[in-house]
């Protein structure tokens, strides 16, 4: 089942119209295709004309040793036309970096010359050149569709090994460990024979899977009960952990849909290479992802703080403070002293300060002391989450969808 949407910030979530075009058969990895979709006389030859019929398309997946000019010769283009195409595509993408799996497509006019040339690269981005009276070259963001998948595994020695054996993404072992780190020690809980079921999304451009899959939901049947974990989607900041059908824990996170990349506590510092206290949680997030207040509060500080880079700090009263670090930009509508609500945009994720790649470092401090955001509940307002009917209904929906997907696989 293809479902549009649910993709990380900054990525287009339109349905990929070219993937729906029967003329584009990108999964035929080795075959060069020329597909006539309409009689040649129906082909619009005017840039301004409405697209009444799709162009015939020649398309080929780049193989080992292929060059763009070699492929264009294969497509039947003469030297001069071929040079125009490589010149146009090469102005937006270094064609030396072409690699197996990229897809080169030509939209052909009735006379066999290209109207468009498109190169789809590994992350799903497309370099698109248009020829004719108003030539242009554009680099288009990936048009990704998200596809939900599910699977199950029985634990023998470790979650990682179980996922590996079941052909599921092993990175989810880390997601599970990080999110459960402050609830119980998952490794110590495993004696063997535990059943785990997971649901996740993968992202596709046409028929190709691009980027990393994202875990959405997990159900762990352990000796002391059934744990269900619901990660937030692009509309939600709440991670929820249930035990035996009851809401055990809600965690408000500062970036919608983001996944943890590092936990709170002692760890090997990624930059300094020594064991250090990690005073917060890290979230994997593309540069520019919107960072939001996790709870209502008052802006106490905005600006630089050495290794933290650009930060926002919120005062939530009762000695509770949150800090959002390594930001690339601040919300310029905010001022120190101003009150904000949960969900107010504070700035954008980045990599300022001591940081190797864009991510968000998030802290909760109580009377100046860093506490584990996944364990300490003092930030949550007393009236914050008294209603549990909604998350319970959501977790039922997730459970049903996962069961259906697993059953469909047989
Ligand atoms: Zn951090």
Question: Domain limits of the chain?
Answer: 24-140, 145-252+387-409, 259-371
Rounded to the nearest angstrom, the distance between the alpha carbon of 284 and the centre of ligand 1 is 10
Cα separation, 76 vs 125, in Å, equals 25
Rounded to the nearest angstrom, the distance between the alpha carbon of 125 and the centre of ligand 1 is 30
Q: Report CA torsion sign: 173, 179, 181, 186.
A: negative
| Angle value at C-alpha 144, between 171 and 399, nearest 5 degrees | 55
Rounded to the nearest angstrom, the distance between the alpha carbon of 218 and the centre of ligand 1 is 25
pLDDT at 410: 60
Q: Which CATH architecture has domain 259-371?
A: Distorted Sandwich (2.70)
Rounded to the nearest angstrom, the distance between the alpha carbon of 75 and the centre of ligand 1 is 51
Cα separation, 179 vs 248, in Å, equals 13
Rounded to the nearest angstrom, the distance between the alpha carbon of 278 and the centre of ligand 1 is 6
Both structure tokens of 339: 């009150």
Q: What is the pLDDT of residues 306-316, one digit of tens each?
A: 999 999 999 99
Rounded to the nearest angstrom, the distance between the alpha carbon of 300 and the centre of ligand 1 is 20
pLDDT at 334: 97
Q: Do the domains at 145-252+387-409 and 259-371 have one common CATH topology?
A: no
Give Cα separations from 321 to 56, 75, 277, 278, 365 (angstroms). 60, 62, 18, 17, 5
Q: For 5, which DSSP code?
A: -
Give the DSSP per-residue string, 130-184.
E-SSS-EEEEEPP--EEEEEEEEEE-SS-HHHHHHHHT--THHHHHHHHHHTTT-
Closest CA to 353 of 287, 303, 309: 309
Rounded to the nearest angstrom, the distance between the alpha carbon of 262 and the centre of ligand 1 is 7
Rounded to the nearest angstrom, the distance between the alpha carbon of 256 and the centre of ligand 1 is 18
Fold of 24-140: Nuclear Transport Factor 2; Chain: A, (3.10.450)
Run of H or E residues at 259: strand 259-262
Q: Which CATH architecture has domain 145-252+387-409?
A: Roll (3.10)
pLDDT at 27: 30
Q: For 203, which DSSP code?
A: E
Closest CA to 140 of 187, 74, 93, 202: 93
Both structure tokens of 400: 């049903």
Rounded to the nearest angstrom, the distance between the alpha carbon of 282 and the centre of ligand 1 is 5
Rounded to the nearest angstrom, the distance between the alpha carbon of 264 and the centre of ligand 1 is 8
Give Cα separations from 298 to 133, 206, 325, 363 (angstroms). 56, 46, 17, 16
Rounded to the nearest angstrom, the distance between the alpha carbon of 243 and the centre of ligand 1 is 28
Rounded to the nearest angstrom, the distance between the alpha carbon of 224 and the centre of ligand 1 is 32
Rounded to the nearest angstrom, the distance between the alpha carbon of 250 and the centre of ligand 1 is 21
- For the chain, the C-alpha Rg in angstroms (whole number) is 25
Under 8 Å between Cβ of 89 and 129: yes
Number of H helices, E strands in the chain: 7, 26
What percent of the chain clears pLDDT 90, i.e. is strictly above it? 60
Rounded to the nearest angstrom, the distance between the alpha carbon of 355 and the centre of ligand 1 is 8
Cα separation, 340 vs 249, in Å, equals 24
Rounded to the nearest angstrom, the distance between the alpha carbon of 217 and the centre of ligand 1 is 24
pLDDT at 56: 82
Q: For 11, which DSSP code?
A: S
Rounded to the nearest angstrom, the distance between the alpha carbon of 395 and the centre of ligand 1 is 29
| Residue ranges for the chain with pLDDT beneath 50 | 1-51
Rounded to the nearest angstrom, the distance between the alpha carbon of 351 and the centre of ligand 1 is 11
Could you tell me the pTM of the whole model?
0.69
């Amino acid at each position: 089942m293809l479902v549009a949407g649910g993709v990380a910030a900054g990525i287009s979530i339109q349905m990929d119209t070219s993937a729906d075009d029967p003329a584009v058969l990108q999964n035929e990895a080795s075959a060069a295709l020329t597909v006539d979709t309409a009689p040649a006389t129906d082909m619009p030859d005017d840039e301004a004309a409405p697209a009444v019929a799709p162009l015939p398309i020649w398309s080929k997946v780049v193989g080992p040793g292929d060059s763009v000019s070699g492929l264009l010769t294969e497509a039947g283009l003469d030297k001069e036309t071929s040079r125009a195409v490589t010149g146009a595509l090469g102005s937006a993408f270094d064609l030396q970096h072409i690699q197996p799996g990229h897809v080169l497509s030509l939209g052909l006019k009735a006379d066999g010359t290209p109207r468009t040339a498109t190169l789809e690269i590994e992350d799903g981005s497309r370099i698109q050149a248009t020829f004719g009276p108003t030539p242009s070259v554009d680099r288009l963001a990936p048009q990704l569709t998200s596809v939900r998948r599910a699977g199950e595994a029985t634990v023998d020695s470790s979650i990682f090994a179980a996922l590996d054996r079941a052909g599921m993404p092993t990175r989810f072992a880390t997601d599970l460990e990080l999110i459960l780190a402050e609830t119980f020690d998952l490794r110590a809980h495993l004696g063997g024979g535990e059943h785990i079921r997971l649901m996740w999304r993968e992202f596709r451009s046409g028929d190709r899977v691009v980027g990393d899959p994202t875990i959405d939901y997990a159900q762990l049947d352990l000796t002391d009960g059934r744990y269900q974990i619901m990660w937030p989607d692009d509309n939600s900041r709440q991670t929820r952990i249930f035990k035996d059908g009851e809401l055990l824990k809600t965690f408000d996170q500062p970036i919608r849909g983001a996944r943890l990349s590092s936990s709170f506590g002692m760890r090997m510092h990624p930059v300094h290479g020594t064991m250090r206290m990690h005073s917060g949680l890290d979230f994997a997030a593309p540069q520019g992802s919107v960072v939001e207040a996790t709870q209502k509060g008052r802006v106490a500080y905005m600006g630089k703080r050495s290794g933290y880079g650009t930060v926002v700090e919120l005062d939530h009263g009762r000695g509770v403070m949150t800090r959002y670090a390594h930001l690339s930009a601040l919300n310029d509508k905010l001022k120190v002293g101003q009150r904000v609500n949960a969900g107010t945009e504070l700035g954008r994720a980045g990599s300022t300060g001591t940081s190797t790649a864009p991510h968000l470092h998030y802290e909760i401090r109580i009377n100046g002391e860093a506490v584990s955001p996944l364990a300490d509940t003092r930030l949550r307002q007393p009236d914050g989450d008294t209603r549990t009917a909604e998350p319970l209904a959501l977790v039922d929906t997730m459970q049903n969808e996962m069961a259906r997907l697993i059953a469909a696989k047989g």
